[in-house]
Amino acid sequence: EVQLVESGGGLVQAGGSLRLSCAASGFTFDDYAIGWFRQVPGREREGVSCLSSKDPRTWYRDSVKGRFTISSDNAKKMVYLQMNSLKPEDTAVYYCAAYQTQFDCYYSPYEYKYWGQGTQVTVSS
d(CA 4, CA 97): 7
The answer to whether residues 33 and 39 touch, using CB atoms and an 8 Å cutoff, is no
Distance (Å, whole) CA 117 – CA 125:
26
Instruction: Give Rg (Cα) of the chain.
Output: 14
- Per-block mean pLDDT, blocks of 10 residues, the chain (125 long): 94 98 88 94 96 87 98 91 98 96 90 96 97
pLDDT of residue 26: 87
